[in-house]
A and B are shown apart, each in its own frame.
Chain A
Amino acid sequence: MITITTQVNGVPRQLSVRPNQLLLEVLRDDLNLRGAVEGCGVGVCGSCTVLLDRKPISSCLMLAANVDGREITTIEGLGSGETLDPVQQAFLDHQAFQCGYCTPGMIMAVKGLLYRNPRATVDEIADYLSGNVCRCGTYLEVMRAARAVIAAQVETTG
């Protein structure tokens, strides 16, 4: 077993992980954070997306041992108390989900987009989110939600 120190959703954690244990397994099985889910197991569907130092990653491909000293944010870490994160709220407002299985990963990808490119254009949004599959096909609504968050953010920050 390997001991790692990490921050998960702002909470410092010391975790004992197996050398071959994936970050997704640690989150789901050891920390009971089950919003991120496995969709493909090979890092192309985006269902397991979490933020590692504010960058979206596929937690199904990341060894837990590699997140030592780094900061993880999962869907459970968004918002505070009863208040949703603006991205979550935008997904709700725009009905940007159907079965919901991809939604936590999709929302985390949008969070990552906002950190990286807070004024992303439609084409940039589509390109950035192309690694997050929604098999229900809710892409138009996800686009509307992402654009709404970006527009609101641009308005506040000028």
Chain B
Amino acid sequence: MTGAVQYAVDLRMPGMLVARALRSHLPHARVLSIDTTRAREVPGAVILTRDDLAGTRSRFGPVFKDQPVVAIDKVRFVGDLVAVVAAEDLDSADEAISLIEVEYEALPAVFDPREALLPSAPILHDPADFVDGSGTADTIQPGVEGFEGFPDGNLCCSAHFESGDTAKGFAGADRIFEDTYSCDPIQHAHLEPHAALAYWEGPGSLVIHCSTQDPWVVRSELAYIFKVEPSAVRVIVPSVGGGYGGKLYPRIEPVVAALARKARRPVQWVLTREEVFMTLTRHGASVRLKTGVTRDGRLIARQVEVVYDGGAYAEISPRVVVQNAPVAAGPYRIPHVSVDCHAVYTNKPPAGAFRGFGVPQIVWAYESQMDDMAHALGVDPVELRRKNLYQEGDAYLTGERLDGVGVEQCLSAVAAAIPPIARSGVREGQPRQRLVRGRGLACSIKSTMTPSNSVASVRLDPDGSLQVLASGVEIGQGYTTILAQVAADALGVSLERVRVLKPDTDVTPFDHGTKSSRLTFTVGEAVRRATIDIRGQLLDMAADKLEVARDDLVIEHDQIRVRGTNVVLGIPDAFKARFGLPVGNLYGDAVVQTTGGLAHGTYRGKDSAFWMWSAAAVEVEVDTQTGKWRLVRIASAVDVGRAINPVQCHLQNEGAATMGIGAALMEGLVHDGGQPLNSSFVSYPVPSMEDVPQDFQSVLVEAPHPDGPYGAKGVGESGLLAVAPAIGNALADALPGVRLRNLPMRPADVFAALSGAATQPGEAPR
């Protein structure tokens, strides 16, 4: 607002060096030699290559330790790190980089995940390199139900889920629909690039300030890499300029720490935009979807195969496949379901967490098909969905009871907000008008990472101010405001009395990360319980002083009052009564651990601590001569359980939906022979104010969850999930016979579809 907020890019330290990287220009190659002789002559240059990894574990990753700190034997994508240089200024660092000589032996490369699984494909990894230390940073480990364990060739990881008997289900279906849908990889494009500033306080003690969503996971990974105690690593998180998943798990932190270790000075590294594009992506995916339906529109069998393009390193793909295997069936009661999710290594930038965590690619498939089925069956798309949607208290595929099911309310809200286009007469066979409109909608389900753990510590000072210590990260989602509201409400003090500390692993307690829309549900609940603990302590002190029963006391307006009287005691006076002076603190702590997991072999259990439900509807206008289309209106409804802060809920909903618009309209990373072709905001535009319609209805549905604070559940991702298929369905509605099955749907793609043979809904022969 005033420019005073400090991001990691703004940090400066006396004696600090700045860094630049040398990256591979080949998609797959053996690194034969790295000659730094001439680069070392640049004054002040400190160069880190594979030769400087002695004494470290050299490879990291949240599940599989397959990512080298810098390239060791091979490079696996264009942009893979080969060397980094720290110097007094960027010009010197650039000069040193230009003087490093690398000899490569180019290897055959593979870019398409399905091709990568062929026997002839070049293999990226030898799992023997990274068997050590698996599973230090995430809950997914070999042995988790449905998870196949270690990579097999380029098959990075797989998960299988089933419920019922699909063979039987399909045999009983009246109609069977089968199609393949796909999504290009996209990029988070957080405006603040990855940035970190590291220094060592002696040989065994590391401090790192970094733009991360995941301070505790970064801490454990750095401790693992550098073979130090986790408590010897201090991760401090300043304000973060956007994350959307791109700053989960370690990114540049290991290499910055290694460089600072070698330089014996503080080192800051801020990536360029081009580098950010090469650092992490949202999985490209192809989804084969087969659905059996009865004549009256009940879904009875569904078979899903999802192939995620994992890129060069596993990253968090193992949890993407495991977490999404059940929800790939969608928000519908389907008795017979079988899902296979795979992530495949390819010679492209690694794919990882991205708002929606692999679900939007699947919703794109099943909600596109839903409209095709409705069309083929001659039923209303809303009614077809309604007939099959989960209801409150239903048993989920895993056997667990579904609590807080707001999906039908979401669907009804958006369907009412954007009604179907009124049309008269027959459209088939009529000449097309230049500008046509269509309406489409979609709905979705997503689970949250379960189990997970959050700890909060709340401190009451004698002046009545409340400090909230927790390690969630404010990335713009309003986390600090929501925690402050929860704490203020739980104690009975005004919001201004509450301060939420920024994460600092030396000070703030454990948290499993700012991911999976989990902070309000877990950290929020931990803060609520911790504050109630303090409230009890404070009331005890006041009850002693006022000689009344604790139950007769209430806290309101920053003071303690005897119920029904005018007798009040200020918080400082309560401290004085206990300690003689207004000194000391009261502490409250709470640990919230969500539990879950599916039983081996049966796929039964508790899959998710809470469920995210959402729906979107849009009206589009298409220029049939150019393929250019625009959103006329959009409605996005998300089930928030309980809106603790409605303003922030709307911002999350609108922001997530805007990302969905980007994925539908314009975003897609283009590679040619592994070379990235659009690593810039010029060639990779993201939505601007002109791409988002002013007629935008954000709807908050409240189906409370028994375990969330005040019934609240997560909302960070919900608004993204259904937007792209709603747009696809609107385009199909506007253009009879046209169905786009790949994201994005750029005007050129729409034009091509209009010009080419009209694609028919894929109904399999029976």
Q: Is B1 an interface residue (CB 8 A)?
A: yes
Q: Do B690 and A34 touch across chains, with their CB atoms under 8 A apart?
A: no
Q: Mark A119-136, 1 if CB is under 8 A from B, else 0.
A: 000100111011111111
Interface centre among B10, B682, B694 (most CB of A within 10 A): B694
- Docked complex Cα distance between A122 and B689 (Å): 11
- Docked complex Cα distance between A37 and B241 (Å): 10
- Docked complex Cα distance between A79 and B4 (Å): 13
Contact of B681 among A34, A125, A133, A138 (CB under 8 A): A133
Cβ-closest chain A residue relative to B274: A41
**How many chain-B residues does the 8 Å CB contact rule pick out?**
48
Q: Give residues 1-42 of B contacting A (CB, 8 Å).
A: 1-7, 9-10
- Docked complex Cα distance between A99 and B648 (Å): 12
Q: Is B577 an interface residue (CB 8 A)?
A: no
Q: Do B690 and A75 touch across chains, with their CB atoms under 8 A apart?
A: no
Q: Give residues 65-118 of A contacting B (CB, 8 Å).
A: 74-76, 78-79, 84, 88, 91-92, 95, 97-104, 107
- Shortest A134–chain B CB gap in Å is 8
Which residues from chain A contact B4 at a C-beta distance below 8 Å?
35
Q: Is A4 an interface residue (CB 8 A)?
A: no
Q: Is A148 an interface residue (CB 8 A)?
A: no
Interface centre among A28, A33, A40, A95 (most CB of B within 10 A): A40
- Docked complex Cα distance between A139 and B654 (Å): 9
Q: Do A137 and B654 touch across chains, with their CB atoms under 8 A apart?
A: yes
Q: Do B694 and A135 touch across chains, with their CB atoms under 8 A apart?
A: no
Q: Is B273 an interface residue (CB 8 A)?
A: yes
Contact of A44 among B188, B681, B689 (CB under 8 A): B681
Cβ-closest chain A residue relative to B189: A135
Q: Do B239 and A100 touch across chains, with their CB atoms under 8 A apart?
A: yes
**How many chain-A residues does the 8 Å CB contact rule pick out?**
52
Which residues from chain B contact A125 at a C-beta distance below 8 Å?
689
Binds A, one of B431-439, B442-450, B555-563, B655-663: B655-663
- Docked complex Cα distance between A84 and B3 (Å): 12
- Docked complex Cα distance between A41 and B273 (Å): 7
Q: Give residues 128-158 of A contacting B (CB, 8 Å).
A: 129-143
Q: Do B191 and A92 touch across chains, with their CB atoms under 8 A apart?
A: no
Q: Is A47 an interface residue (CB 8 A)?
A: yes
Q: Is B534 an interface residue (CB 8 A)?
A: no
Q: Do B2 and A76 touch across chains, with their CB atoms under 8 A apart?
A: yes
Which residues from chain A contact B475 at a C-beta distance below 8 Å?
99
- Docked complex Cα distance between A130 and B9 (Å): 25
Q: Give residues 643-670 of B contacting A (CB, 8 Å).
A: 647-648, 651, 654-659
Q: Do B694 and A143 touch across chains, with their CB atoms under 8 A apart?
A: yes
Contact of B2 among A35, A133, A143 (CB under 8 A): A35
Which residues from chain B contact A84 at a C-beta distance below 8 Å?
1-2
- Docked complex Cα distance between A90 and B655 (Å): 19
Which residues from chain A contact B191 at a C-beta distance below 8 Å?
37, 39, 45, 47, 99, 101-102, 133-135
Contact of A42 among B654, B682, B692 (CB under 8 A): B682
Interface centre among A38, A99, A138, A141 (most CB of B within 10 A): A99
Q: Do B242 and A136 touch across chains, with their CB atoms under 8 A apart?
A: yes
Q: Is B244 an interface residue (CB 8 A)?
A: yes
- Docked complex Cα distance between A39 and B190 (Å): 9
Cβ-closest chain B residue relative to A97: B1
- Docked complex Cα distance between A137 and B719 (Å): 12
The verdict on A137 contacting B657 (CB below 8 Å), with A44-B682, A98-B476, A103-B1 known, is: yes
Q: Do A42 and B273 touch across chains, with their CB atoms under 8 A apart?
A: yes
- Shortest A135–chain B CB gap in Å is 5
Q: Do A39 and B476 touch across chains, with their CB atoms under 8 A apart?
A: no
Q: Do A91 and B654 touch across chains, with their CB atoms under 8 A apart?
A: no
Q: Do B190 and A140 touch across chains, with their CB atoms under 8 A apart?
A: no
- Docked complex Cα distance between A138 and B688 (Å): 10
Q: Do A92 and B1 touch across chains, with their CB atoms under 8 A apart?
A: yes
Which residues from chain B contact A143 at a C-beta distance below 8 Å?
689, 694
Q: Mark A20-41, 1 if CB is under 8 A from B, else 0.
A: 0000000010000111111111
Which residues from chain B contact A35 at a C-beta distance below 8 Å?
2-4
Q: Do A133 and B688 touch across chains, with their CB atoms under 8 A apart?
A: yes
- Docked complex Cα distance between A98 and B4 (Å): 15
- Shortest B7–chain A CB gap in Å is 7
Which residues from chain A contact B239 at a C-beta distance below 8 Å?
99-100
Which residues from chain B contact A39 at a C-beta distance below 8 Å?
191-192, 273, 681
- Shortest B196–chain A CB gap in Å is 16
- Docked complex Cα distance between A102 and B192 (Å): 9
- Shortest A96–chain B CB gap in Å is 10
Q: Do B689 and A79 touch across chains, with their CB atoms under 8 A apart?
A: no
- Docked complex Cα distance between A132 and B243 (Å): 18
Q: Do A95 and B689 touch across chains, with their CB atoms under 8 A apart?
A: no
- Docked complex Cα distance between A122 and B695 (Å): 12
- Shortest B20–chain A CB gap in Å is 14
- Docked complex Cα distance between A135 and B475 (Å): 12
Q: Do B3 and A104 touch across chains, with their CB atoms under 8 A apart?
A: yes
Cβ-closest chain B residue relative to A125: B689
Q: Do A42 and B681 touch across chains, with their CB atoms under 8 A apart?
A: yes
Interface centre among A36, A91, A95, A134 (most CB of B within 10 A): A134
The verdict on A75 contacting B687 (CB below 8 Å), with A41-B273, A136-B242, A136-B655 known, is: no
Show 10 A/B contacts (Cβ-Cβ < 8 Å), sorted by A.
Answer: A35-B3, A36-B3, A47-B191, A122-B694, A131-B688, A133-B686, A134-B191, A135-B189, A137-B692, A142-B689
Interface of A with B (CB < 8 Å)? 28, 33-42, 44-45, 47, 74-76, 78-79, 84, 88, 91-92, 95, 97-104, 107, 122, 125-127, 129-143
Counting from the closest, the 5 A-B pairs by CB-CB distance are A35-B3, A99-B476, A137-B658, A101-B241, A98-B476
Interface of B with A (CB < 8 Å)? 1-7, 9-10, 188-193, 239-244, 272-273, 475-478, 647-648, 651, 654-659, 680-682, 685-690, 692, 694, 696
